Structure 1
Amino acid sequence: MNSTFFLIGIFLLAALLYLALTFYLRRGGLRAAQLRVIMRGWAEIQRTFSTNPKYALVEADKLLAYTLKQLGYSGSMGEVLKRRGDRLFSDLDGVWRVHKMRNRAVHEMHYEVTAKETTQALAVFRHALWDLGAEVR
């Protein structure tokens, strides 16, 4: 009887260790292929910024959301920011601000962003991507 409980305990411990290790490795960072996609996306954002700042703003938000998904975070951007944002980003308030700016750009018909606002927003997005391990330039 005692050996049965001992074996069950060992099995449960091994299962928990396996799950913890799997979870840890899954969150281990971005792979080279993922980083290439992010770098290409950022380069495209930089190219389109001067001709279409609103598009650059929206694409930067999408790129940050893509990066979070690649790291295993599920849910909308807002959900991830609420659940994990304080642990992920050194400037969580800034990330919230530029995400809300993106929402206004997408949902408000006559909302326009200036080049200066977009420049500042892209700096926040760039820093957020760095926080996640994507050192975009």
Structure 2
Amino acid sequence: MGDSVLGSNWFNPDYLFNQGIKFFHDAFNITINPDVISLYHTILMLFALFFLTIISYASIRLFEIRAKERKHLGHEIAEYAHYQTERVKKRVEGDSGSKNERWGKTLGYLFSQHPSDWKLAIIEADSMLESLMDQLGFKGVALGDKLKSADQDKFHSLTSAWEVHTIRNRIAHEGAAFSMSQHEAKRVIAIYEHIFRDFGFI
């Protein structure tokens, strides 16, 4: 029994080597078989078509999602713009009903689409400031003189009043050469508004 096992071809290096050569030779012959090569090409083509289909589908879905996002964003922007317009309109209408009708006129200029009107808003607000100074009893020929006659104790917003009045003078003296954004105009008008509300003028 032991001799038969030890004498088996599986323990013969030459036999194992020849079997290995035969195996790889047969495998190589199979791989170069035209039918097998054609099968490989078919399988590879199917895989390529599969992945191209996946990529195409993913690309189409991505474009659809982005289109929906753009549409949604456009809708959101339109709604926000409408909301802002309505809010401004209500504010103007509400302030127009204040006890000082000139304030509504000032805001009308401020929220106009024309840059020249933004300057008119400041000029109108400055004229209102002069009326307030008259009402408070400050003396002077022009608003600048009335501001000079005021003091911080009686007129707490004196520094702010000088700031906005100086801007108004630049508008009057420089005319069209003086450039101003609507954002800056709103900032200036907000200062006037603070002064007016302090004295219950609007």
TM band (smaller chain):
0.5 to 0.7
Does the CA-based 8 Å contact 1:48-1:55 persist in structure 2? yes
Flag structure 1 segments of 5+ consecutive residues without an equivalent: 1-34
Please tell me whether residue 60 in structure 1 is matched to residue 121 in structure 2. no
**How large is the Cα RMSD of the aligned pairs?**
1.8
Specify which of 167, 170, 177 is matched with residue 101 of structure 1: 167
User: 1:113 maps to what in 2?
Assistant: 180
TM-score (norm. length: structure 1): 0.64
Whole-Å separation in 2 of the counterparts to 1:132 and 1:112: 31
Matching residue's letter, 1:108: E
Whole-Å separation in 1 of the counterparts to 2:184 and 2:103: 17
User: 1:47 maps to what in 2?
Assistant: 108
**Stretches of 4+ aligned residues off by more than 4 angstroms:** none
In the comparison of the two structures, how many residue pairs are matched? 99
Matching residue's letter, 1:53: W
Question: Which protein shows a greater Rg?
Answer: 2
Whole-Å separation in 2 of the counterparts to 1:59 and 1:85: 24
Residue 74 of structure 1 and its aligned partner are, at CA, apart by 2.2
TM-score (norm. length: structure 2): 0.45
Q: 1:71 to 1:120 in 2, by over 3 A?
A: same
Using CA pairs under 8 Å that are at least 6 residues apart, name the structure with larger relative contact order, 1 or 2.
Answer: 1
Flag structure 2 segments of 5+ consecutive residues without an equivalent: 1-97
Does the CA-based 8 Å contact 1:91-1:128 persist in structure 2? yes
